Amino acid sequence: MTAARDKFGRPVVVVTGMGILTSLGAGKADNWAKLVAGESGIRTITRFPIDGLKTTMAGTVDFVSVDPFSSTALSERMAEIATQEALEQAGIGAKADFPGPLFLAVAPVEVEWPQRRELGRAVGQLDINYDDLLRISGGGKYSAYHHRFMFGSVAASLAETFGTKGSPISLSTACASGATSIQLGVEAIRRGETDAALCVATDGTVNPEALVRFSLLSALSTQNDPPQAASRPFSKNRDGFVMAEGAGALVLESYEAATARGAKILGVIAGCGELTDSFHRTRSSPDGKPIIGCMNKTLADAGMTPDQIDHINAHGTSTPENDKMEFNTTSAVFGELAQKIPVTSNKSMVGHTISAAGGVEAIFSLLTLEHQRIPPTINYDIPDPAILFNVVGNKARDARVTAVMSNSFGFGGQNASLILTREPF
């Protein structure tokens, strides 16, 4: 085995650039400093009225502005900022000339309420139905909304800005989307189709309807006061996740290509795995088999055993069901090690960035490897006695970390895991 190939003879895939943006701030430095300090990015929503809502806080990214505002435009702008940072670090290609494909995890796109209301006002009558909206939609006045609300619009814009090659893929595997975008990049490099891939995950969908949708499914925390204490993964009094926004961008390269151009290697994507749960639209199979299978597939893909994992960056949403299921399934895979390996949930501080979470948390995992320091799970004051994880509660912990497993589970039976290492195994 040479460093360029893994034990299965496939090209080793490394990370040479990372960019991140969350409710904590923009950039790796700012995010990491706040993350290890245990700061929360969750706040009371000011972007739109919160009257009548059960949940009134979120991890909004308010320091990025787009005009006219839409969740899709915000997703695109955050992705651009994160990608710019990743490309600067990687120093790959030339301006607007990235030498590989784009895999973009992005929330499903749709016409949003500000635009719908604008149409409603333009109808100019008291009773409004869709025939009325249709009558006034054509003629070119709203052509920008067609372009904005194509599902492929964010990817097409990023592909043009950064000059990625070929057909950019916009994907959704719900809360696992970020991990899936990385997996697609890893697979393309392993197949030898490309030496580099740009994997971006973004989500700017804290808007009234999205919040209401999750609220109606009883998925969100309603512990609004203080907002910073709402997300409390693994705690007995957790009551739901906190919606949040953010973006993460990773430049992946084959080890061979990265070393050939003298790039600094930030880490290795040693393994990826995914497994579908066909039990229910929003709930995991009670036996946890699909999640167990997902973790096992990921270990097998990396050619590693559970004892080689020394940190788990958990999905840890802070919903009653997820956190318990995650402990049970992790125990099934790791045995007693599940109670020894330090576990943390970044969502305690940045909230759940939904489509972006897999990307954001992969980057935090790589920063953990770089700094040999595990960020805390804040609000961990009343541990759930049924969850016996070795939670890195409330204070960051220095630790020897060589391999991290990062988990993502989503609606629709989506499960995806990644294993990230400092060096090629």
With CB under 8 A as the contact rule, which of the stretches 32-40, 166-174, 230-238, 393-401 interacts with other proteins? 166-174
Out of 7, 213, 264, 283, point to the residue binding other proteins (CB under 8 A).
213
Q: Please indicate whether residue 146 is annotated as part of the active site.
A: no
Given candidates 38, 99, 152, 303, which one binds other proteins under the rule CB under 8 A? Answer: 152
Q: Does 138 bind other proteins (CB under 8 A)?
A: yes
Active-site position among 175, 199, 272, 294: 175
User: CB under 8 A: which stretch of 44-52, 238-246, 248-256, 387-395 binds other proteins?
Assistant: 44-52
What's the min distance (Å) between Cβ of 153 and other proteins?
8
Q: Is residue 166 close enough to count as binding other proteins by CB under 8 A?
A: yes
Out of 1, 134, 260, 300, point to the residue binding other proteins (CB under 8 A): 134
Rounded to a whole number of angstroms, the minimum distance from the CB of residue 78 to other proteins is 18
Question: Within 312-331, which residues bind other proteins (CB under 8 A)?
Answer: none
- How many residues bind other proteins (CB under 8 A)? The answer is 86
122 touches other proteins (CB under 8 A): no
Angle at 355 between CA 352 and CA 359, to 5 degrees: 85
| Encoded tokens for 313 | 């960056």
Residue 166: how many other CB atoms lie within 10 Å: 12
State which of residues 32, 98, 162, 214 lies at the interface with other proteins (CB under 8 A): 214
Radius of gyration of the chain (CA): 21
Q: Min. distance of Cβ 304 from other proteins in angstroms?
A: 19
Q: How far is CA 199 from CA 87, 191, 232, 284, 384, in A?
A: 11, 16, 29, 27, 35
CA distance 253 to 256: 8
CA distances from 408 to 51, 120, 124, 359 (A): 32, 39, 46, 10
Residue 332 contacts other proteins per CB under 8 A? no
Q: Are 399 and 342 in contact (CB under 8 A)?
A: yes
Query: Residue 338 gets which letter from DSSP?
Result: G
CB 107 within 8 A of CB 172: yes
Q: What's the closest the beta carbon of residue 61 comes to other proteins, in angstroms? A: 21
CA distance 274 to 15: 20
Give burial (CB, 10 Å; 0-12/13-18/19+) of 43: middle
Instruction: Measure the CA–CA gap between 227 and 23, rounded to whole angstroms.
Output: 13
Does residue 294 have an active-site annotation?
Answer: no
- First CA to last CA across the chain, in angstroms? 10
Spatial contact of 273 and 176, defined as CB atoms under 8 Å apart? no
167 binds other proteins (CB under 8 A): yes
Footprint of other proteins on 62-101 (CB under 8 A):
101
Instruction: Candidates 161, 215, 228, 259: give the one binding other proteins (CB under 8 A).
Output: 215
Is 272 part of the annotated catalytic residue set?
A: no
Q: Which of 180, 223, 345, 421 binds other proteins (CB under 8 A)?
A: 180
Would you tell me the crossing angle of helices 320-334 and 289-302 to the nearest 10 degrees? 50
Q: Which of 46, 63, 94, 121 binds other proteins (CB under 8 A)?
A: 121
Q: Which residue among the candidates 272, 294, 315, 371 is catalytic per the annotation? A: 315
Instruction: Say whether residue 125 binds other proteins (CB under 8 A).
Output: yes
Answer for which of 37, 66, 111, 388 binds other proteins (CB under 8 A) is 111
Q: Binding of other proteins at residue 283 (CB under 8 A)?
A: no
Task: Give the CA distances from residue 319 to residues 60, 99, 238, 242, 360, in Å, rounded to whole numbers and listed in that order.
Answer: 19, 40, 6, 9, 19
Span of 73-81, 207-215, 249-257, 310-318 interacting with other proteins by CB under 8 A: 207-215
Instruction: Tell me the catalytic residues.
Output: 175, 315, 352
